[in-house]
Amino acid sequence: MEKFATVDADGLRARVEQLLAEHDPAGDRLAFLQARFDAGLAWVHYPPGLGGLGAPRELQSVVDDALAAAGAPDNDPRRIGIGLGMAAPTILVHGTDEQRRRWLRPLWTGEEVWCQLFSEPGAGSDLAALGTRAVREQDSWIVNGQKVWTSMAHEARWAILVTRTDPSVPKHAGMTYFACDMTAPGVEVRPLRQITGEAEFNEVFLTDVRIPDEYRLGDVGNGWRVAQTTLMNERVAIGGGAAPRESGTIAAVCRTWRERPELRTPAGHAELMRLWVEAEALRLTGLRLRQQLAVGAPGPEGSAAKLSYARLNQAVSGFELDLLGDEALRYDDWSTGTWATKRPAAVDFLARSPGYRYLRAKGNSIEGGTSEILRNIIAERVLGLPGEPRVDKDVPWKDLPK
Ligand SMILES: Cc1cc2nc3c(=O)[nH]c(=O)nc-3n(C[C@H](O)[C@H](O)[C@H](O)COP(=O)(O)OP(=O)(O)OC[C@H]3O[C@@H](n4cnc5c(N)ncnc54)[C@H](O)[C@@H]3O)c2cc1C
């Protein structure tokens, strides 16, 4: 990847001025986002030609702040979070030039939503156990299998997909990574109901789906390494975002605290203070993580951020429920429509009720790697403690008990 450190904050501000002079931020939203991408102001640390300028990553806020002040549209990162947080960095590192040019622009503008076809009924935490088969047929691969818990599959145009291409070698060695066209014949998306009452994720059945070899990311058999890039970035995307002080769920509960003096108690005050401080510590850790990212790929620190985020979000949403008492039990989403038609296009904690926040936060300690698995990663890779015994390391995948 190209890296230029020659673009500084003033240079970026000048480029933003030029973009605003040439493209009306109040005009067509998509046209503006496309122009922003083409000006290298989408993700400034990406290479020129791919929405960036090879600038230091931490200068992104210079662009974002200037454009927000001018009332320019943003690219709605919640709806396209999987594309931005996971697919894009994977395509950037492992894709060919052709693949990067084809996929990154519509991904960033939100024209094409991406989902992640990783988990299977028998392969979640142990992702390398997966059994979805891809068999080569001339210039294509024929894919058969079932994926599960696929967020946003009902909205997605593309998926990142990990498959088994060689069952005769140990599980980590026989996997290959693809981009899958979700509109291809044989891709079937079925809603799965969540504790919130909605169906934000899905089962995805793949039956004789033909994937051209040109959609392969990385070498045949190298899918595990490519998937590691995705997973490392996933943890940072979930847990290490740059956020202003007192934002997210802690902002919602602080607002209630300020506006509703009748709910306050000394014990509640102590608890809120404790959670606020924890949220601030996590926010600052996230900032440090992003600074580290400016000089390299995410490391296992992202796992610590994701673990803390999940724990804190559950604690804060639980506190909000206690604070509001019966009032918090009012929950609107069960009463109207059927669950299969309630298919959110984004997980938006702040736009929803305290009841929703509490229920949806339960998934935070499962999605993107469970808290138990993240603790294992921290123990082994950060603290250097002895690893779990891995008895299946050298056994061919086909001989593993299923
Ligand atoms: C809201 C939500 C959205 C999701 N979106 C997606 C998506 O878009 N795409 C996708 O591919 N997947 C998605 N997932 C799936 C998610 O990544 C998996 O659920 C997760 O990796 C756990 O896998 P599992 O459900 O198979 O549980 P299992 O792996 O069966 O784990 C069950 C329990 O055992 C524990 N456990 C397992 N192994 C160990 C171990 N070695 N040491 C200690 N404890 C262990 C786990 O921590 C867990 O508590 C989503 C999940 C949720 C909840």
* Cα radius of gyration rounded to whole Å, the chain: 22
* In the predicted structure, residue 174 carries a pLDDT above the cut 70: yes
* In the predicted structure, residue 310 carries a pLDDT above the cut 70: yes
Average pLDDT over the chain, rounded to an integer: 92
Q: Measured in angstroms, how far is the CA atom of residue 187 from the centroid of ligand 1?
A: 23
Mutation choice for ligand 1 from 114, 116, 125, CB with most ligand atoms inside 8 A: 125
Phi, psi of 202 (to 5 degrees): -150, 165
Q: Which atom of ligand 1 is nearest to the CA of 360?
A: 1
What's the pLDDT score for residue 241? 63
The alpha carbon dihedral of 301, 88, 163, 395 has a sign of: negative
How many Å separate Cα 202 from the centre of its chain?
16
* In the predicted structure, residue 63 carries a pLDDT above the cut 90: yes
* In the predicted structure, residue 2 carries a pLDDT above the cut 50: no
Tell me the percentage of the chain whose pLDDT exceeds 70. 94
Q: Measured in angstroms, how far is the CA atom of residue 372 from the centroid of ligand 1?
A: 10
* In the predicted structure, residue 292 carries a pLDDT above the cut 90: no
Q: Which atom of ligand 1 is nearest to the CA of 120?
A: 26
Q: Which atom of ligand 1 is nearest to the CA of 123?
A: 26
Residues with active-site annotation: 234
- 155-164, 188-197, 253-262: the lowest-pLDDT one: 188-197
Pocket residues: Cβ below 6 A from ligand 1:
115-116, 118-119, 124-125, 149-151, 201, 363, 366-367, 369-370, 372-373, 376, 388
Quick one: which of 244, 315, 309, 325 has its CA closest to 274?
315
Mutation choice for ligand 1 from 366, 390, 392, CB with most ligand atoms inside 8 A: 366
Q: Measured in angstroms, how far is the CA atom of residue 367 from the centroid of ligand 1?
A: 6
How does residue 244 score in pLDDT terms, banded at 50, 70 and 90? Answer: confident
* In the predicted structure, residue 9 carries a pLDDT above the cut 80: yes
Residue 157 buriedness (CB in 10 A; 0-12 / 13-18 / 19+): middle
**pTM (2 d.p.):** 0.93
* Ligand 1 atom 27: residue of nearest CA: 124
Q: Measured in angstroms, how far is the CA atom of residue 358 from the centroid of ligand 1?
A: 19
How does residue 1 score in pLDDT terms, banded at 50, 70 and 90? Answer: very low
Q: Measured in angstroms, how far is the CA atom of residue 324 from the centroid of ligand 1?
A: 31
Helix/strand number for the chain, H first, E second: 12, 8
Cα–Cα distance measured from residue 36 to residue 15, given in angstroms and rounded to the nearest whole number: 10
